[in-house]
Amino acid sequence: MKISQIGEFGLIQVLKGILSSPIIGDDTAPVEINGETLLLTTDCMVEDRHFKRFYAPEVVGWKVISVNVSDVVASGGNALYALVSLALPDIEVAYVEGLYRGIKEACSFYGCQVVGGNITKAEKIVIDAFMLGKTDRFVSRSGAKPGDKLYVSGTLGDAKAGLELLLLERKKYEDFELKLIERHIRPTARIDYIKHIRKYANACIDISDGLSSDVWHLSRMSGVKISIKSNDIPVSEELKLFCKKHGRNPLEYALTGGEDYQLLFTHPEDRYNPFLDMKCIGFVEEGSGAYIDGETLHPMGFDHFR
Amino acid sequence: MKISQIGEFGLIQVLKGILSSPIIGDDTAPVEINGETLLLTTDCMVEDRHFKRFYAPEVVGWKVISVNVSDVVASGGNALYALVSLALPDIEVAYVEGLYRGIKEACSFYGCQVVGGNITKAEKIVIDAFMLGKTDRFVSRSGAKPGDKLYVSGTLGDAKAGLELLLLERKKYEDFELKLIERHIRPTARIDYIKHIRKYANACIDISDGLSSDVWHLSRMSGVKISIKSNDIPVSEELKLFCKKHGRNPLEYALTGGEDYQLLFTHPEDRYNPFLDMKCIGFVEEGSGAYIDGETLHPMGFDHFR
Ligand SMILES: Nc1ncnc2c1ncn2[C@@H]1O[C@H](COP(=O)(O)OP(=O)(O)O)[C@@H](O)[C@H]1O
Ligand SMILES: Nc1ncnc2c1ncn2[C@@H]1O[C@H](COP(=O)(O)OP(=O)(O)O)[C@@H](O)[C@H]1O
Ligand SMILES: Cc1ncc(C[n+]2csc(CCOP(=O)(O)OP(=O)(O)O)c2C)c(N)n1
Ligand SMILES: Cc1ncc(C[n+]2csc(CCOP(=O)(O)OP(=O)(O)O)c2C)c(N)n1
**What value of ipTM does the predicted structure carry?**
0.97
Nearest to A115 by CA among A66, A81, A68: A81
Give the C-alpha distances (Å, rounded to integers) separating A174 from A164, A242, B92: 14, 10, 45
Q: How far is A82 from chain B (nearest CA, A)?
A: 9
In angstroms, the CA B131 to CA B13 distance is 23
3-class secondary-structure state, position B102: helix
Kindly report the pTM of this predicted structure: 0.97
Report percent pLDDT > 70 for chain A: 100
Chain A contact present for B286, CB below 8 A: no
- Taking a contact as any Cβ pair under 8 Å apart, which residues of chain A between 89 and 128 contact chain B? 90-94, 96-97, 100-101, 103-104, 113-124, 126, 128
Give the ligand with the smallest distance to the CA of B29: 1
Q: Tell me the per-residue pLDDT of A115-133, one tens digit each, with 9 for 90 and over.
A: 999 999 999 999 999 999 9
CB A119, CB B304: distance < 8 Å: yes
Strand pairing report for A262-267 and A203-207: antiparallel
Chain B contact present for A19, CB below 8 A: yes
What pLDDT is stored for residue A152 in this prediction?
A: 98
Residue A163 pLDDT grade (very low, low, confident, very high; cuts 50, 70, 90): very high
CB A211, CB A258: distance < 8 Å: no
> Angle, nearest 10°, between helix axes A175-185 and A237-246?
110
- Taking a contact as any Cβ pair under 8 Å apart, which residues of chain B between 47 and 66 contact chain A? 49-50
Print burial letters for A140-160: b (CB count within 10 Å at least 16), e (below 16).
bbbbbeeebbbbbbbbbbbbb
Residue A277 pLDDT grade (very low, low, confident, very high; cuts 50, 70, 90): very high
Pick out chain B residues at pLDDT < 50.
Answer: none
What pLDDT is stored for residue B13 in this prediction?
A: 95
Nearest to B294 by CA among B230, B219, B234, B206: B230
What pLDDT is stored for residue B172 in this prediction?
A: 96
CB A265, CB A217: distance < 8 Å: no
Q: Tell me the per-residue pLDDT of A182-213, one tens digit each, with 9 for 90 and over.
A: 999 999 999 999 999 999 999 999 999 999 99
Ligand 3: centre distance to CA A175 (Å): 24
What average pLDDT score do residues A50-68 get? 97
- Element of type H or E holding A46: strand A36-46
Query: Residue A302: which residues within 8 A CB-CB, separation 6 or more?
Result: A208, A209, A210, A213, A256, A258, A259
What pLDDT is stored for residue A295 in this prediction?
A: 97
Q: Could you tell me if the CB of A164 is within 6 A of ligand 3?
A: no
Q: Is A166 exposed, middle or buried (0-12, 13-18, 19+ CB in 10 A)?
A: buried
What pLDDT is stored for residue A20 in this prediction?
A: 94
Domains, chain B, ranges and CATH?
Answer: 27-135 (3.30.1330.10), 149-296 (3.90.650.10)
What pLDDT is stored for residue B306 in this prediction?
A: 86
Ligand 1: centre distance to CA A239 (Å): 42
Q: Mutation target for B interface from A93, A103, A136, A302: give the one with most B CBs within 10 A.
A: A93
Q: How far is B153 from chain A (nearest CA, A)?
A: 24
In 10 A of CB A296, how many CB atoms?
9
First CA to last CA distance, chain A: 14
B208 carries a ligand binding annotation: yes
Beta bridge partners of A131: A41, A82
In angstroms, the CA B60 to CA B102 distance is 7
B302 carries a ligand binding annotation: yes
**Mean pLDDT across chain A, nearest whole number?**
97
Beta bridge partners of B126: B46, B87
In angstroms, the CA B62 to CA B183 distance is 12
Q: Tell me the per-residue pLDDT of A214-267, one tens digit each, with 9 for 90 and over.
A: 999 999 999 999 999 999 999 999 999 999 999 999 999 999 999 999 999 999
DSSP secondary structure of A140-159: -SS---TT-EEEEES-SSHH
Q: Tell me the per-residue pLDDT of A44-54, one tens digit each, with 9 for 90 and over.
A: 999 999 999 99
What pLDDT is stored for residue A303 in this prediction?
A: 93
Residue A306 has pLDDT above 90, yes or no: no
Nearest to A127 by CA among A84, A94, A70: A84
